Structure 1
Amino acid sequence: MEGVKVERPPADGRRVTTEAPAFSGRTAARATRWSGLAVVVRQGAQLLFAVLLARWLGPAEFGVVSLATIYATLMALLLDQGLSSAYVQRRTLPEGAAGAVAGVNLLAAVLLGLATAVAAGPVAAFFDAPGLEVVLHVLAAGLVVKGAAVAPRAVLTRRLDYGAVAAGDVSGAVAGAAAGLVAALLGAGALSVAVQVLVTDAVVLVVLLARSRGPVPSLRLAPLRELLPTSAAVFASNAVAQLSRNTDNVLVGKFLGTAALAHYAMAYRVLVVPVQFIGLTVKRVLFPAFSRMADDRAKLAATLVSATELLAFASVPLMALLAVAAPQLVEVVLGPAWAESAPLMTVLALAGARETIFYITPSLLTATGRAGWTLRFELVSTAVQVAGILAGLPFGILGVAVGYACAGLVLTPVLLVVQRRTTGVRVRDQLGAMAPALHASAWAALAYLAWRWSGTGTWTTLLAGAVSYAAVLVGVLLLVHRTPALRTARRLAAVVRR
């Protein structure tokens, strides 16, 4: 591949130094396009599956699906141990590193599957959800498939071959969602989510293995020595982050019941929408980009400001609309049984916009060799968020949502300082990059609320309010923030053209 440099191994043949490919403008545009396609299709398919399943099952049974989803997220973290991030981040690699990563992931998958089989019953009893046990048993059986896909994905990502990664993600997401929906129509209930996960993982594995042509798993662990420092720091920070993000779900499921968890988890998916559709796309592309420019602080700062502006324009208007339109959207999409989710969606949509804008910060720290900073921040973040969640728990699921959102606001100044210390970017520049999207979205939200307060019907409010929202948003951007708006539009157009 162009930009890849391979040095011949020394006489003992034990080491090959492979330099990662260069991240040029055209490469970045191609990577963004493929990564964006993969994220949109995968998350869109999963969101459609979740919405339809929620409407068919109702809040009571969907709570079991939410618990199973938490388990699947945790297993994805434990299977990787941060090795794939370390593999992508390093500019040079020892011979056999890919095979060692694959071997460790497979071994971890087997051990985690056995542990899950033993713990499934007690976990179901802890949440008072008998239907959860059989779902966990099925998911445990598929962990080897999920674990086997980690190393091929890392190999392709390091090559910047996002087309191959997208092929696996898109085909897996579509096949998995289709299989899950068929299972639900046949009466599988909460087990439908296990079917969806298993089919998705199997298809992804087949495609990634075919495109990467390996690697062959190996338990010769010596090549991992150079990866372990970064891997350990990434794994620790990711583990703390997952603890922070799932503490609310666990507490709601334990103390407020699975039906309350279903409402909270469905609303939480609104928060995840911009993070997964937008933040994850940009994060995937910027991680190798930041790694290549780690020694150029001026370039890092400029790239960070540009990314922040793009993330703000992409997420804030969308989430502000979801926040004000939540009551109508819930009634139309999910049905009257889910009305309790609407105020939660409003709160978590606003929290999601903030989280999306700062989603790239951990990647920035890891790419610049500051993975330890990520761990320290995640520890602080977890403490603040758990405190907010616990403070809100006595007030029910809405209190938990408000506590989570307020904790995020408290952490925002810390994130801005971390970005400044890493790249030298001024806090004023970062806030300035966010301001146009925030300002225009605020006026647009008032336009939608005017329709809500007028007392018109659900469909009229939703359609007329959305049109008014879009019109005011575009008007304010063109009249007040024309330069940054057009600059962002040109960036997106350049990516599409390339």
Structure 2
Amino acid sequence: MSEREEQVRVNQSLAWVGTATALMGVGDVATKAVLLAIWITPEEYGVATLALAAIPILDLATELGLPGALVQQGDHTPARLSTVFWLNLLLSLTIVAAIFFVVAPLLASHYQAPIVGWMLQAHCVKLLLQNLYMVPGALMIRELRFREFSLIRFLASVAENVALLVAAPLVGIWCFIAGAIGRTLVTTAGVQYFQPWLPRLLFDWAATREAVLFGLKTSFSRILFFVYTGLDFYIVGHFFGRTALGLYKAAADLALDPARIISTVVVSVAFPAFSRARGRPAVLAEQFLKLSRLSFIVVAGFLVIVVPAAPDLLLLLDAQWVGAAVAVRVLAIAALLRALSAVVPPLLDGVGRPSLTLTYMAVAAVTMPLWFAIAAVLLGDRLGYASVAWAWVIGYPIAFWVLLRFALRHLEIGAGRYAAAMLRLALWTGLAIAAGTVARALVAGVELPVVRALAAAGAAMATFVALLVVAEGITPRSLSAALKPPPRDAEPAIE
């Protein structure tokens, strides 16, 4: 496969994953809006957050990064694949035991909410089921089969949202458990349909040892990521209570979830792309800059709508959620940096340097929780739970710079070149948000919040798109050209 063909494969993968993710995002936002507007109060949402904020960490702990090792490395034997499955299953059983007898009782006791422990224990069903799709799913990703994988993810998202809406009026916040299990069942069925695979009674430690060592480094890095991006919820709950936590979580859903979703897209496509190009520095550098810009543009495109319209969007749910608007606007700053930082770990992992990612994650996992706690103690009396949001703005740029330095040093890209590629996008984002804010001010006298929200969002998005077209040359034609395969060489004439 030529470099041009490989780049087209990456672009097409991004298109499929991005389209599926956008559709999923719309469905997820609509579903969550219905839940919060009708059935879930801020206090109940806070309780659910205490139970579920640790779930990403537990999910990663059950796989130990082994599926990622299958993506990074090729030449897989049936013995190696089966060994990965049995190791994952053993880890899952160990984590389930820890949840039942240690984690769930401790959280329930600390926050004086038994339901927190019960929900964690119920989530163990999902932890066990996901073993059935991890290995075949990794094989699909390795081959960049994102068309099928995106369809699976979309159908799984639909199943989750249907389960949430059906279960919410019946069992309240237990609907989140029903949704997670519904998503896992559909994912398992879809992956097994497109990539049928079942483990054999084989165990080859010698052939799998290298993958385990690689997986340990990458999984610890991702676990540490979810530690420092999830502890803010527990700190808000500890210092400010469940209702404040529900409002903070709603703000994070609006401001930080786009960055989280984009990071999923980027990691899915970037990791195999970087792994394939690991021996070609120029290609790596070009892919890194393109994916960084793409991550920023997509997240910024969502935030230019959310930031100026935040109070009205929350008011459409219910007046009890409007207080989260301040935190939304503060967290949006961190969201842009998190969109950029999402590109670096798959780069370092893909080129065989997961130890650098682990170093960064370890530093961030120590420093960011300290920032959260210090901000809550020093600023909590004046800013309330928004003080923790400000900790993101103060502390995360430092952590991001450490991570970025690792990437630039490996790629031999100057900081000036990187800054030039990103600062223009930041300027267009700021101008678009300003346009949305002005538009909202012009219709401030209108009583209907939906009108104010549409005015702010429409002006901001129109400005953002216009600036991308005029200043960056990003048009439908340019996007279409990036997805077209190169022309085949003409067949030699037969004389």
Give the TM-score normalised by the residue count of structure 2.
0.89
Instruction: Return closer, same or farther for 1:343/1:115 CA change in 2, 3 Å cut-off.
Output: same
8 Å CA contact 1:271, 1:353 repeated in 2: no
Residue in structure 2 matching 1:237, options 205, 218, 221: 221
Q: Counterpart of 1:456?
A: 445
3-state SS of paired residue (2:130): helix
- Asked if 1:357 corresponds to 2:340, the answer is yes
- Asked if 1:202 corresponds to 2:185, the answer is yes
Cα offset, 1:176, TM superposition:
1.8
Instruction: Return closer, same or farther for 1:143/1:305 CA change in 2, 3 Å cut-off.
Output: closer
* Distance (whole Å) between structure 1 residues aligned to residue 99 and residue 478 of structure 2: 46
- Asked if 1:465 corresponds to 2:447, the answer is no
* Distance (whole Å) between structure 1 residues aligned to residue 163 and residue 349 of structure 2: 37
Q: Counterpart of 1:493?
A: 480
* Distance (whole Å) between structure 1 residues aligned to residue 138 and residue 160 of structure 2: 22
Cα offset, 1:250, TM superposition:
1.6
* Distance (whole Å) between structure 1 residues aligned to residue 23 and residue 87 of structure 2: 30
21-30 vs 114-123, which moves further? 21-30
- Asked if 1:267 corresponds to 2:258, the answer is no
Count of residue pairs the alignment pairs up: 473
Cα offset, 1:129, TM superposition:
1.9
Give the TM-score normalised by the residue count of structure 1.
0.88
8 Å CA contact 1:361, 1:419 repeated in 2: yes
- Asked if 1:293 corresponds to 2:277, the answer is yes
Residue in structure 2 matching 1:103, options 86, 90, 115: 86
* Distance (whole Å) between structure 1 residues aligned to residue 8 and residue 376 of structure 2: 49
Cα offset, 1:143, TM superposition:
2.1
Amino acid at match of 2:179: Q
Q: Counterpart of 1:346?
A: 329
8 Å CA contact 2:306, 2:457 repeated in 1: no
- Asked if 1:405 corresponds to 2:393, the answer is yes
Q: Counterpart of 2:36?
A: 54
Q: Counterpart of 2:416?
A: 428
* Distance (whole Å) between structure 1 residues aligned to residue 464 and residue 144 of structure 2: 36
- Asked if 1:370 corresponds to 2:361, the answer is no
Amino acid at match of 2:328: M
8 Å CA contact 1:102, 1:215 repeated in 2: no
What whole-Å deviation, never above 9, does each CA across 1:224-283 have from its counterpart, x for those lacking one? 112122111102211211111111112122332222211111111223332244332233
- Asked if 1:37 corresponds to 2:15, the answer is no
* Distance (whole Å) between structure 1 residues aligned to residue 477 and residue 399 of structure 2: 32
RMSD: 2.4
350-359 vs 271-280, which moves further? 271-280
Amino acid at match of 1:49: T
Work out the percentage of aligned pairs sharing the same amino acid: 23
Residue in structure 1 matching 2:7, options 4, 25, 44: 25
8 Å CA contact 2:305, 2:456 repeated in 1: no
1:304-319 matches, within 5 Å, as: 304-319=288-303
3-state SS of paired residue (2:172): coil
8 Å CA contact 2:42, 2:247 repeated in 1: yes
8 Å CA contact 2:256, 2:331 repeated in 1: no
3-state SS of paired residue (1:93): coil
What whole-Å deviation, never above 9, does each CA across 1:348-389 have from its counterpart, x for those lacking one? 122112211221100000001110000111122223312321
* Distance (whole Å) between structure 2 residues aligned to residue 151 and residue 23 of structure 1: 27
Cα offset, 1:23, TM superposition:
7.0
* Distance (whole Å) between structure 2 residues aligned to residue 115 and residue 416 of structure 1: 35
Amino acid at match of 1:87: L
- Asked if 1:415 corresponds to 2:403, the answer is yes
- Asked if 1:81 corresponds to 2:68, the answer is no
* Distance (whole Å) between structure 2 residues aligned to residue 478 and residue 201 of structure 1: 39
Residue in structure 2 matching 1:136, options 107, 120, 124: 120
Q: Counterpart of 1:331?
A: 315
Q: Counterpart of 1:11?
A: none
Q: Counterpart of 1:14?
A: none
Cα offset, 1:43, TM superposition:
4.1
Amino acid at match of 2:314: V
* Distance (whole Å) between structure 1 residues aligned to residue 123 and residue 431 of structure 2: 46
Q: Counterpart of 1:280?
A: 264
Q: Counterpart of 1:121?
A: 105
Q: Counterpart of 2:489?
A: none
Instruction: Return closer, same or farther for 1:314/1:409 CA change in 2, 3 Å cut-off.
Output: same
Instruction: Return closer, same or farther for 1:69/1:39 CA change in 2, 3 Å cut-off.
Output: farther
Amino acid at match of 2:98: A
